[in-house]
Amino acid sequence: MMRLGHLLGGRWVDGEGEGTVLRDPTTGSPIATSSADGVALADAMAWARRVGGSQLRSMTFAQRGELLLSFADKLKEGRQAYYDAVLTNMGANKRDAVFDVDGAIAVLRYYGGLGRDLGDARFLLESEVAQMTRSVDFRVGHLLTSRHGLAIGINAFNFPAWGMFEKVATATLAGMPSLAKPATQTALVAYLMVRDLHEAHLIPEGVLSLLTAGGRELADLVEEEDTLAFTGSADTAAQLRSNRHLIARGARFNAEADSLNAIIALPDVDANSPSLACLIDAIVTEMTIKAGQKCTAIRRVIVPERLLDQVSEALAARLSPLKVGDPRNPQVDMGPLVSRAQQESVIAGAALLAQEGKSLLGGANAVEFVDVDPKVAAVVAPTLIEIGDPSSARLVHELEVFGPCVAVMGYREVADGIELARRGRGSLVATVVSDDSSAFVEAALALGSLHGRLAQLNSRTVGENPGHGVVMPQAVHGGPGRAGGGEELGGLRALRFYLQRTAIQADVSALSSLRAVAGEMR
Ligand code: NAP
């Protein structure tokens, strides 16, 4: 069986004991183990801050960008092996694995390109320079320099590759070394990717470290200039956010947590509108990609009451013929969840939601699974629940069922529909279906404060929009409230988390000298 090590202090090290067993969720077979017991984490972190930090700070943005592009080129060569690893460790077929593996390569390329554009600078200056007093010769500008710490990235089980590299790409470009910690149960692909980069001698000393298990002490080991970017459940986010040592040190913390993302059809959508077909397509896609294990997946479908039966029936008609089972079989549309524990949690969560309405598909009326032993495979049928009275329902707006499960609900007045979406108390994304741009804008204004991203969907935009659940590096990712209150990506904005902003009060000639050698933060 494979043993996953950790890249710490510039070399591969192993922990004591057997540690955690990683399994194939389709067959239940063990595939690898990883343990971080007894590894000298504090020493490795100190080394990475010192060695990796000075390496990166001596590089220009263009050189950091070239480094990211070299990572992307190398990872592209190994894609098939990574798809295979995702299949074995996560039960994802190639369509699903692409989101993680190619997504990782794409985000490295995107930030590599931004680095190239920033050229020879090593720090940034904000574009605005303001006059503070009557003097026009003495002004203030805002300088952004790399923090001399370690960028710790802790990731969730569902995106071991993309989740790791979206954090590594932005930290590296900002000039901070990274320590990546994928979720242990799905760490295989992250391990293979970092191993390949290391074996190809592409990682400058200390610039990227990897911990494939453990890490419970990470928050207790942070220093003032460190950053801790976390993606995972709201419970773990709360635990880390309130860590006394992290608070005392004033280290930066960002959380990407769970979310009850909605798709809302506005009243102009009627029974024959082509945009209604777009809504059905979007829901089916979101439910089945990675078996609904995306933080951005649609969980709540909010439609005018007159369309409720039609939407439920159309969804049931599309979902019921889908084949669920072994993703190695090309006839299979959807593979298993990542573990039996997730399967249990999704089935239990769906049963709770069904108490607030009725189950239309899935749940107890499970389908026949293909090429798997249901006693060991973590399979779950697409599950559709119709909520009886959505405004008095509670769980559907509070409980994230992290799998192929959506709840459909109707509204009478558009304001009620908007209010239902807002009951998610902070979401990563919502899609608004409407053929009327001004109605979309009104909805966006009403939903904005509780959403990180809003997508317009109609028959005109459907071919252009990357999709409800797809996170693009140009757009910010994150959401307020229960979604964690954090923000990642969004072009150069993402670098701010890793840079210290300093007000520079100086005479105009000093500020001009700074401007001459700085990159511009727009
Ligand atoms: P999780 O149980 O919170 O674990 C997330 C990560 O935190 C794992 O790497 C885990 O390590 C680590 N961890 C757990 N406790 C820790 C502690 N005390 N100190 C340091 N690290 C700790 O979440 P999950 O089950 O992997 O992920 C599913 C959740 O993530 C879902 O709710 C989903 O919505 C959310 N998610 C959000 C986003 C987003 O961008 N907003 C993206 C993906 C997923 P081990 O694996 O070793 O336990």
| pLDDT tens column, 240-249 | 999 999 999 9
Confidence of residue 316 (pLDDT cuts 50, 70, 90): very high
> How much distance in Å is there from the Cα of 157 to the middle of ligand 1?
7
Q: Which has more pLDDT, 121 or 463? A: 121
Q: What is the distance in angstroms between the CA of the first residue and the CA of the last residue of the chain?
A: 50
Phi, psi of 151 (to 5 degrees): -95, 105
Residues sharing a CB contact under 8 Å with residue 406, sequence separation 6 or more, in sequence order: 283, 286, 287, 298, 299, 300, 301, 315, 383, 384, 385
CA 139 from centre of chain: 40
> How much distance in Å is there from the Cα of 165 to the middle of ligand 1?
16
Mean pLDDT, to the nearest integer, of 432-460?
96
- CA–CA gap between residue 269 and residue 146 (Å, rounded): 49
pLDDT of residue 366: 61
Q: Is the CB of 169 under 6 A from ligand 1?
A: no
User: Which atom of ligand 1 lies at the shortest distance from residue 255's CA?
Assistant: 41
- CA–CA gap between residue 124 and residue 266 (Å, rounded): 43
Residue 307 has pLDDT above 60, yes or no: yes
Q: Is the CB of 242 under 6 A from ligand 1?
A: no
DSSP 185-248: GG-HHHHHHHHHHHHTT-S-TTSEEE--S--TTGGGG--TT-EEEEES-HHHHHHHHT-HHHHH
Q: Whose CA is nearest to atom 42 of ligand 1?
A: 295
| Angstrom distances, CA of residue 111 to CA of 162, 166, 177, 217, 499 | 13, 9, 15, 30, 16
- CA–CA gap between residue 45 and residue 177 (Å, rounded): 10
Phi, psi of 252 (to 5 degrees): -80, 145
User: Which atom of ligand 1 lies at the shortest distance from residue 20's CA?
Assistant: 47
pLDDT of residue 4: 98
pLDDT of residue 461: 87
| Angstrom distances, CA of residue 391 to CA of 190, 257, 310, 388, 479 | 42, 24, 20, 9, 23
User: Which atom of ligand 1 lies at the shortest distance from residue 259's CA?
Assistant: 34
Residue 364 has pLDDT above 60, yes or no: no
Q: Whose CA is nearest to atom 21 of ligand 1?
A: 216
Tokens found for residue 143: 């300088």
User: Which atom of ligand 1 lies at the shortest distance from residue 471's CA?
Assistant: 40
Adjacent-strand bridge partners of 34: 20
* pLDDT (tens digit per residue) in 92-113: 999 899 999 999 999 999 999 9
Phi, psi of 231 (to 5 degrees): -130, 125
Residue 447 has pLDDT above 90, yes or no: yes
Residue 462 has pLDDT above 90, yes or no: no
- Nearest-5° angle of CA 498, CA 504, CA 509? 130
Q: Is the CB of 505 under 6 A from ligand 1?
A: no
Residue 376 has pLDDT above 60, yes or no: yes
- CA–CA gap between residue 442 and residue 423 (Å, rounded): 18
> How much distance in Å is there from the Cα of 342 to the middle of ligand 1?
13
Q: Is the CB of 302 under 6 A from ligand 1?
A: no
Report the share of the chain in percent with pLDDT over 90. Answer: 96
Instruction: Select from 45, 154, 230 the residue to mutate for testing ligand 1; criterion: most ligand atoms less than 8 Å from CB.
Output: 154
- CA–CA gap between residue 203 and residue 213 (Å, rounded): 21
Instruction: Select from 107, 157, 217 the residue to mutate for testing ligand 1; criterion: most ligand atoms less than 8 Å from CB.
Output: 157
Map out the domains of the chain with their CATH numbers.
Answer: 41-257+486-521 (3.40.605.10), 262-476 (3.40.309.10)
* pLDDT (tens digit per residue) in 394-404: 999 999 999 99
Q: Residue 171: exposed, middle, or buried by beta-carbon count in 10 A (0-12, 13-18, 19+)?
A: buried
- CA–CA gap between residue 140 and residue 97 (Å, rounded): 48
Q: Active-site residue numbers? A: 256, 295
> How much distance in Å is there from the Cα of 232 to the middle of ligand 1?
3
Residues sharing a CB contact under 8 Å with residue 459, sequence separation 6 or more, in sequence order: 273, 274, 275, 277, 278, 435
Q: Whose CA is nearest to atom 46 of ligand 1?
A: 183
User: Which atom of ligand 1 lies at the shortest distance from residue 156's CA?
Assistant: 26
Q: Is the CB of 490 under 6 A from ligand 1?
A: no
Angle subtended by helix axes 94-118 and 79-90, to nearest 10: 130
Mean pLDDT of the chain: 96
Instruction: Select from 189, 222, 231, 241 the residue to mutate for testing ligand 1; criterion: most ligand atoms less than 8 Å from CB.
Output: 231
Q: Is the CB of 215 under 6 A from ligand 1?
A: yes
Q: Is the CB of 162 under 6 A from ligand 1?
A: no
> How much distance in Å is there from the Cα of 235 to the middle of ligand 1?
9
Q: Is the CB of 243 under 6 A from ligand 1?
A: no
Instruction: Strands of 421-486 (E only): list them.
Output: 427-433, 451-457, 476-477
Spell out a b/e string for 451-466, using b for 16 or more CB atoms within 10 Å of the CB, else e.
bbbbbbbbeebbeeee
- CA–CA gap between residue 361 and residue 188 (Å, rounded): 33
pLDDT of residue 465: 86
Residue 367 has pLDDT above 90, yes or no: no
> How much distance in Å is there from the Cα of 233 to the middle of ligand 1?
5
> How much distance in Å is there from the Cα of 337 to the middle of ligand 1?
15
User: Which atom of ligand 1 lies at the shortest distance from residue 218's CA?
Assistant: 20
Residue 363 has pLDDT above 90, yes or no: no
pLDDT of residue 276: 96
> How much distance in Å is there from the Cα of 403 to the middle of ligand 1?
15
Q: Count the neighbouring beta carbons within 10 Å of the beta carbon of residue 327.
A: 28
Q: Whose CA is nearest to atom 11 of ligand 1?
A: 183
Q: Is the CB of 239 under 6 A from ligand 1?
A: yes
> How much distance in Å is there from the Cα of 239 to the middle of ligand 1?
11
Inter-residue contact 270 to 459 (CB < 8 Å): no
Adjacent-strand bridge partners of 476: 489
Instruction: Select from 6, 89, 158, 245 the residue to mutate for testing ligand 1; criterion: most ligand atoms less than 8 Å from CB.
Output: 158
> How much distance in Å is there from the Cα of 24 to the middle of ligand 1?
19
Sign of the four-CA dihedral 11, 188, 82, 233: negative
**Can you give the pTM of this predicted structure?**
0.95
DSSP 102-128: HHHHHHHHHHHHHHHHHTT-SSEEES-
Sign of the four-CA dihedral 54, 57, 58, 62: positive
Confidence of residue 464 (pLDDT cuts 50, 70, 90): confident
Residue 294: closest CA among 352, 337, 240: 337
**Longest CA–CA separation in the chain, Å:** 78
Inter-residue contact 209 to 48 (CB < 8 Å): yes
Residue 365 has pLDDT above 60, yes or no: no
Q: Whose CA is nearest to atom 16 of ligand 1?
A: 216
Inter-residue contact 252 to 59 (CB < 8 Å): no
